[in-house]
Amino acid sequence: MSAYRELSPSLRTIMTPGPVEADPRVLRAMSFPVLGQFDPEFTDLMNETMSMLREVFRTGNEWCFPVDGTSRSGLEAVLVSLIRPGDRVLVPIFGRFGHLLAEIAERCGAEVSVIETEWGTVFDPEIIIQAIHRHKPQLVAIVHGETSTGQVQPLGEIGKACRELDILLVVDAVATIGGTPVETDQWMLDAVIGGTQKCLSVPSGMAPITYNSRVEQQLLSRKRIERGLADPAVSEAAARPVSDSIRSNYFDLSQLQDYWGPMRLNHHTEATSMLYALHEGLRIVLAEGLEERFARHRINELALTAGLQAMGLQLYGSQASKLPVVTCPLIPEGIDGEQVRSMLLHQFGIEIASSFGPLKGRIWRIGTMGFSCRQTNVLQVLGALEAVLLRCGFRLPAGEAVQAALDVYTGK
């Protein structure tokens, strides 16, 4: 008899900036039978997924598809496919994930310049535009919603400036897609990377991306075709010198688009069950309606922040540029943040997040994303946090937090 126990994960209330609770309909979709990757039923699902992604990214771009892997696989795919060694890349950094973009760009061989602004704030777009004029990059990579600091960077003016100067703008919208507006076309973003396990409420394992024809032109100029697959008519691309071709096979967007597009040229084997999950997750997003979904994220944010403030907690960072889907209370003086998180998890089954680098031990991060972003969860986290803080000796006006949140929900 095997000593391994049957898998039985605990039911949790997940109020972190990801992964968040998956919608039960998404989990059900993942249990459906496997289809072959070129079965017309499956390729229809692929096409529908692309079409739904266009709506969620708010774009007319032809290319909208998921990269298989976690969100950073989407970041790597876009950056490795666009950056030639020696290219100049500018990365404005206002938190942890900006550093990730800079690191990936460096690994792609770019000459990376960074500008930084204080964590807990975002850039005045004018500062970024000045840096663009100074550094003259071929590509700018920036985070939209920084989950490490709970801040959201306005992108419209930056997009316009990049377009005028013929610079590509790549945006990490992993945390914002499906929770707060991401206007790919209106803001003139050239490539955007989303995430599944945040506001889409699909498990981690895919990275939806979109890019426009400016990006595609670059990809085609570096295109290479796997020798065993090349048809003689396109063998020129197969013969392209390795030195100029995209330095990854798995993340080569020119090959990925041939796989997702009408050619259906074999590349990897699409992750069947993850595609079912993404398809169902996107269907749920569009059935709710994007505007309605953004409004739901705002009301729950409002109730959560009202409750935290009523408890006597202060919020970290600039409130003018606060990311609606992540709220960062400061850990009060004399309270051990990790002890509080551990009690929340073990006594209440609720998970909230700690933070990174300079913010470790200074703030908690509470996510209100996707399926986790609902009234019952917000009320539970407020009630439980109050109880745990009382237990840890923090003096607070008992009962006020949940009442303040209820006031928001009942419109009092």
Shortest distance, CB of residue 93 to ligand PLP, whole angstroms?
A: 12
The amino acid occupying position 382 is L
Nearer to ligand PLP, 359 or 405 (CB): 359
Give CA–CA dist 260/66, Å, rounded.
9
Q: What is the DSSP string of 193-224?
A: E--SSSTT---SSEEEEEE-HHHHHHHHHT--
User: Shortest distance, CB of residue 72 to ligand PLP, whole angstroms?
Assistant: 4
Q: Should residue 71 be labelled a site residue for ligand PLP when binding is judged by CB under 6 A?
A: yes
Q: How many residues belong to the site for ligand PLP (CB under 6 A)? A: 14
Instruction: Give CA–CA dist 197/17, Å, rounded.
Output: 9
354 binds ligand PLP (CB under 6 A): no
Cα–Cα distances (Å) from 199 to 114, 152, 176, 185, 306, in that order, read: 28, 15, 7, 20, 21
Is the CB of 22 or the CB of 311 nearer to ligand PLP? 22
For the record, the structure tokens of 99 come out as 């550093």
- CA distances, 89 to each of 86, 104, 105, 138, 142 (Å): 9, 11, 7, 6, 11
Q: What minimum distance in Å lies between the beta carbon of 369 and ligand PLP? A: 10
Question: Which tokens in the block code for residue 229?
Answer: 């697959």
Stretch that binds ligand PLP, among 49-57, 67-75, 285-293, 301-309 (CB under 6 A): 67-75
Instruction: Yes or no: say if 148 and 171 are a contact pair by the CB < 8 Å rule.
Output: no
Q: What is the DSSP letter of 169?
A: E
| Residue whose CB is less far from ligand PLP, 321 or 380 | 321
Residue indicated by tokens 């309606």: 289
If binding is defined by CB under 6 A, does position 174 make contact with ligand PLP? yes
User: CB of residue 240 vs ligand PLP: minimum separation in angstroms?
Assistant: 30
Stretch of 40-48, 168-176, 297-305, 395-403 lying at the interface with ligand PLP (CB under 6 A): 168-176
Calculate the CA dihedral of residues 285, 292, 121, 80 and round it to 10 degrees.
Answer: 20
Site string for ligand PLP, 214-253 (x = CB under 6 A): ----------------------------------------
Can residue 119 be called a binding residue for ligand PLP (CB under 6 A)? no
Binding mask 129-158 for ligand PLP (x = CB under 6 A): --------------x-x-x-----------
Closer Cβ to ligand PLP, 18 or 307, answer by number: 18
- Interior/surface letters 386-408, b for 16+ CB within 10 angstroms, e for the rest: bebbeeeebebeeebbbebbbeb
Q: Which of residues 283-302 bind ligand PLP (CB under 6 A)?
A: none
In order of 99, 382, 385, 404, the CA distances from 305 in angstroms are 28, 10, 13, 9
Q: Which amino acid is present at 363?
A: I
Determine which residue in the list 204, 266, 375, 403 makes contact with ligand PLP, applying CB under 6 A. Answer: 204
In the complex with ligand PLP, which residue's Cβ is closer, 175 or 328?
Answer: 175
When asked if residue 256 is in the footprint of ligand PLP (CB under 6 A), the reply is no
Nearest to 403 by CA among 338, 326, 330, 306: 306
One residue of 13, 59, 70, 255 binding ligand PLP per CB under 6 A: 70
Selected binder of ligand PLP within 72, 223, 247, 322 (CB under 6 A): 72
Nearest-angstrom CA–CA distance, 25 and 325: 22
Helix (H, G, I), strand (E, B) or coil at 184: coil
CB atoms within 10 A of CB 410: 7
Q: Which stretch binds ligand PLP (CB under 6 A): 70-78, 268-276, 304-312, 351-359?
A: 70-78
* Residue nearer to ligand PLP on the CB measure, 81 or 380: 81
State phi, psi for 382 to the nearest 5 degrees.
-65, -45
Among residues 97, 260, 294, 371, the one that binds ligand PLP under rule CB under 6 A: 97
Binding ligand PLP by CB under 6 A: which of 175, 177, 284, 381? 175
Catalog residues that contact ligand PLP under the rule CB under 6 A: 17-18, 70-72, 97, 143, 145, 147, 172, 174-175, 195, 204
